[in-house]
Structure 1
Amino acid sequence: MDPDRVLEGLDPEQTQAARALRGPVCILAGAGTGKTRAITHRIAHAVAGGVVSEQQVLAVTFTARAAGEMRGRLRSLGAPKVQARTFHSAALRQLGFFWGEAVGGAKPNLIKSKVQAVARAAHSVGQQPDRTGLRDLAGEIEWSKVTQVRPSDYDKAVAKAGRQSPLPEGEVARVFEAYEELCREEHLIDFESVLELTAAMINESPKIAQRVRDQYRYFVVDEFQDVNPLQKLLLDAWLGDRDDLCVVGDPSQTIYSFTGATPDYLTGFGDRYPHATLVRLVRDYRSTPQVVRVANHVIAQAKGATSAHHLTLRAQRPDGPDPIYQEYDDEPAEATGVARKISVLLEEGVPAGEIAVLMRTNSQTAAYEQALGDQGVPFTVRGSERFFERPEIREAVHLLRGARHGAADGEDEPLVRTVRHLLAPLGLVEQAPEGRRARERWESLSALAQLAEDVAAKAGSAGGRATMAHLVDEIDMRMATEHAPGFEGVTLASLHAAKGLEWDAVFLVGLTEGMMPIIYAETDDQVEEERRLFYVGVTRAREHLVMSWSLARSPGGRKSRKPSRFLDGLRPASPSTPGRRDRRKGGVVRCRVCSDALTDAVERKLGRCLDCPSTYDEALLERLREWRRLTARDQKVPAYVIFTDATLQAIAEQEPGSVSRLSAVSGVGSVKLDRYGEAVLALVAGRDPEETVAGDGEEEDE
């Protein structure tokens, strides 16, 4: 390919980055400024111009999906042989290749679950932490290993770092030592040890070092602000005394300091390489000017905002709607208000998959799951577990692979029907269960079934017929690139989990002091990291940005909360009141049996305490559930999107005989009243809802 043609379509700053063919090069790239475009075109330009061969390039990033995206772009630019990998993937490959020469003997097994290994280590020293405690301990061990802290030095390192230990320092050190002993005894290795051993192998063996450095001569590292000391140790081993290194990052998006990551390597790049080329990417192609103004204001208040590494974004998109700042009386009201705004966006044509509700902690999702379910809005909770690593997906893929090998050439059954039949025993039932874990499992399997439909549709449009082999090939490609099939619904996620993603509409919720910044952010540096986390949340939005907070935790509670300090200078001087009017019911909700105040979401929906006596027509409840099942099937949505179990039970208990009484049942909002009101009232009255609708239609025709 003509080297100059590779540069077509780049903006001036991206072109400057792509023309800087020899390192050291530092690219400071703000959110939405096209950094992946810049670095892939730089690599392709260098390959096309003969500066370096494809096989000698190593591009490193932090997620398998980002690496897969980079490989895809490089293929389209005529450089398909470039290696784009994560640190762990590249190191594991090299360690496995040289193991026999460097160490000898059988290769160790990679730990599949660090939490389980930590649990065994903890039990061996008399500790019995719960699952949250185990995750915290695993995090401390990871932090210790990436910062090169040994068990005997843990207490001193924690004190020096100003870090809060999940257990007394001595106890964490004992678990850490037991974990390392467990790995030695059972010939296990974790990802931190993979990096450490690979770096040691290169540094201690001149022969291996020469072979590795002959193979890779041209390095690019993305998200350089997230590099930790162990990754930097490995990178230095790869480089040796060379400087053909291009790093890309944004100090304003450093949000993983608690894991050992540090922006110092990015901000100090010029000190290490005084002759480095510095390029700034500031043209924001993702967000509207209104969103960009919020982002620039947030980060301009940060400590060190006047430094040479601070970037002020320049919006390139047309104007969009102004950001919304909303105050609510309490958390349930905030969740309800957000769900209603989302319903409006959906009616205006914004796809559910292009909407996200982002919050500081995973524990905040429950209220929004309830509120979105009440509004009939499908949603999915994004966790830290990768799609293809989920147990049900591993099992499903195993089944599909087996079906591929066992399929006859003819394959008489349609692909989609076959897939649904195979996945049914794993939990792909007709309607989604309401328990969170069961629903997440159902959503995962539904996403695979939807992928089968997409594969079948693609084959059909080309005049062919999809087979199991086509589906398995598609799954293999997606596994290699971490491109998980999606469940079409509103995303609920923590701000950390949202890094690297973007949506048309973003709701940032729970923006109060104590939550944003989080209450345990005590030092100036910790507060600044919280500010950067908020900045990351803001910059996920392309067009619609809604920021909200509530004054009390529960209805009727003391309204003592304060909006986040990060909103200072952004929100209106006097708090807005629409959020309070947005609630369907004000004040305290009381049990209709004993009159006690109700705070639990399910109790508020039922209108009574769970332990208060209540009678209801079991036959009516069964009719409501069957109607919901059929309606969910016809609309191809989870059953909880129609009505939750708690709402159906409330209807069965209260037996509303009119539209006004039905609208008073918690969980029956205006949208659901319009969609399902007549059918529900018909069921309560003992009539067939289809006959009622048909009769109404005939009357109108006359």
Structure 2
Amino acid sequence: VADFYDRYEREKRKRALVDFDDLLIQAADAMENDPSFAAAQRWRFRHLFVDEYQDLNPLQERLLRAWLGDRKDLAVVGDPNQAIYGWNGADASYLTNFAAQHPGSEVIRLEHSYRSTAEILTVAASSLGLELGVSLPAPTRTGGAAPSIKGYANELDEAAAIVRAIHDNHGPSKPWSAQAILIRTNAQSAPIEAAMRRSAIPYRVRGATSLLDDPYTKNLLKQLDRLNEPLATTISDLDVRVGEMRAELAAVKAPGETDDNDTKSDAGAVDDTSSLGHRLAISEQIVALGRDLLVTDPTARTSGFVGWLKTTLNDGHQVGRDCVTISTFHAAKGLEWEVVHVAGLEAGYVPITHARSPEAKLEERRLLYVALTRAADVLSCTWAAQRTFASQTVSRKPSPWLAQLGSTISELEDSTKLISNPKEVLAQVRNSLHDRPRSSLAVRDIELERKLRVVLREWRAREAFRRNTVATVVLSDLALDGLARHRPTTTGELESLAELGWATREQYGALLLSLIASQLCDDKPSDLEDDRCASS
């Protein structure tokens, strides 16, 4: 890393460029070394206010002190529970030790939350851990719905479920813009964006620039626009090119492995690799979007695809329209929505894989807290048991913190009184976890739903093969999803399942109840066995 950084610094000097850190360094140097310049700046900016003070890093603090001089005209606002920029050198102790570092300052504690319901705030607080020493704001809004946690077989099912939930929470008095989907990394957005486009839900990706503004995209679309051929042919050819670019990228030597120590050669290697990776990423997106269109219009032609693509991408990224926001946890900081869907809550994402030290994991907890507290009224959390990375399908596990969230949700659902103090609920959860395994709560329910989906899919495939028909004729995806989520155990419950048609219920009702019952009994802890399991 030091070798790369040294080459980066040399290349900046060669090109006479500065980055954002350089701007701070040079500003601080100027203030510290030029009294006239410092005096002019302090006269011009006489009162300083700093928001998100818990995210201040040493370089920023140095500039702030240089700007402040011997004055005391400084006001800061922050929340140590939302310190999420440790990777950038941020140090929350600048906030927690503010009174000691600035003698005579007044500390005003903001001890109430006016955004989230008590239920959301309580569940979010549990993400910080169940230690009662954590300082938490008191809720001012009570009587809301408890947040939910649901797991799905794969990222496509998860995305489809999120889209359904967005539709359910949309109406005349509930605009699209009142909802957001929050993810840990930008890479998680692809299946969600595809599901949003298929459902014609307007959305924007916060902080993203439109694909259409990229020069390589413009050139590629210009070439595609000249092709008067089936889109399927074009996408197939482009996919072959994507494979070739992947092979090219894998063959490119990393700058640190080259025998040529010349800075110019090193910079060229970095530029070549970066350019190839950039072109590959764009081509992969174009292929994915082409496949999206082919799902709804298998006869689409390439010339029409270009127009469709421009319309789709412009609709998907326009700021100011009534649309759902897709954002990373970090980019959502400081924002709020009535309804928030937090997706991809899996080990490896939450906490992120490279967060190995205790402090890094604590920061990941705080980042999850930030994401959960973006919701005012409705909060849903989801995860997927499988994800596809490149062409490889990988099994996933729920975030290790979901069990704690699930325990808190269960405690809220069991409570018959309004929640006025989250700490009371967290204390009850902490005590209850001594008496029951964490996996016996929401995560157990999530695992059961996932297993039941697998069982139902396997049965459906066998029955479709036996009848020489397609699987969805035997049991629709909507019906399968409803069975896995609601898990009916009686004929009456089966009849009340709106997703299941009368013909399917008549033909397979008894068998479906048997399949569900067998999974319920297999999953039930030995101390909770009931007569139904004994008789089955």
* Range into which the TM-score falls when normalised by the shorter chain: 0.5 to 0.7
Q: Which amino acid aligns with 1:523?
A: S
Structure-2 residue corresponding to 1:541: 375
Distance 1:529 1:327, change over 3 A: same
2-structure distance, mates of 1:221, 1:279:
15
Please list the CA deviations of residues 287-322 of structure 1 after superposition, one character each: whole Å capped at 9, or x if unmatched: 1121112123323536xx62xxx5312222352222
Contact 2:212 2:310 in 1 (8 A): no
Contact 2:202 2:316 in 1 (8 A): no
Structure-2 residue corresponding to 1:209: 38
SS in 2 for 1:286: strand
Structure-2 residue corresponding to 1:570: 408
Contact 2:46 2:73 in 1 (8 A): yes
Distance 1:255 1:558, change over 3 A: closer
Structure 1, 219-228 or 293-302: larger mean CA deviation: 293-302
Contact 1:343 1:377 in 2 (8 A): no
SS in 1 for 2:338: strand
2-structure distance, mates of 1:591, 1:265:
60
Structure-2 residue corresponding to 1:602: none
Equivalent in 295, 313, 338 of residue 504 of structure 1? 338
1-structure distance, mates of 2:309, 2:74:
42
Shift of 1:579: 4.7
1-structure distance, mates of 2:361, 2:141:
31
Let me know the Cα RMSD of the aligned residues.
4.2
Equivalent in 580, 587, 612 of residue 457 of structure 2? 587
Distance 1:591 1:319, change over 3 A: closer
> Structure 1: which 5+ runs fail to align?
1-171, 396-432, 449-483, 596-653, 671-702
2-structure distance, mates of 1:498, 1:279:
25
SS in 1 for 2:347: coil
1-structure distance, mates of 2:197, 2:56:
39
Matched, 1:314 2:150: no
SS in 1 for 2:350: coil
TM-score (structure 1 length as normaliser)? 0.44
Structure-2 residue corresponding to 1:297: 126
Equivalent in 84, 88, 91 of residue 255 of structure 1? 84
> Structure 2: which 5+ runs fail to align?
219-288, 293-304, 411-439, 483-536
Matched, 1:243 2:66: no
Structure-2 residue corresponding to 1:220: 49
Contact 1:339 1:371 in 2 (8 A): yes
Equivalent in 182, 196, 199 of residue 372 of structure 1? 196
Structure-1 residue corresponding to 2:161: 337
| Matched positions, count | 356
Distance 1:262 1:564, change over 3 A: same
Equivalent in 382, 386, 390 of residue 205 of structure 2? 382
1-structure distance, mates of 2:458, 2:204:
29
Contact 1:379 1:492 in 2 (8 A): no
2-structure distance, mates of 1:227, 1:506:
28
Distance 1:233 1:534, change over 3 A: same
2-structure distance, mates of 1:227, 1:661:
58
2-structure distance, mates of 1:268, 1:440:
52
SS in 1 for 2:352: coil
Contact 2:111 2:137 in 1 (8 A): yes
Matched, 1:231 2:54: no
Please list the CA deviations of residues 97-154 of structure 1 after superposition, one character each: whole Å capped at 9, or x if unmatched: xxxxxxxxxxxxxxxxxxxxxxxxxxxxxxxxxxxxxxxxxxxxxxxxxxxxxxxxxx
Q: Which amino acid aligns with 1:256?
A: Y
Shift of 1:665: 8.7
1-structure distance, mates of 2:322, 2:454:
28
Trace 1:117-156 onto structure 2 (pairs within 5 A): none
Shift of 1:205: 0.9
Trace 1:156-235 onto structure 2 (pairs within 5 A): 172-235=1-64
Identity between Structure 1 and Structure 2 (%) = 31
TM-score (structure 2 length as normaliser)? 0.57
Shift of 1:270: 1.8
Contact 2:203 2:325 in 1 (8 A): yes
2-structure distance, mates of 1:372, 1:589:
30
1-structure distance, mates of 2:121, 2:475:
40
Contact 1:443 1:487 in 2 (8 A): no
Contact 1:334 1:550 in 2 (8 A): yes
Shift of 1:434: 5.1
1-structure distance, mates of 2:94, 2:175:
40
1-structure distance, mates of 2:459, 2:4:
47
Structure-2 residue corresponding to 1:489: 323
Shift of 1:663: 9.0
Shift of 1:519: 2.4
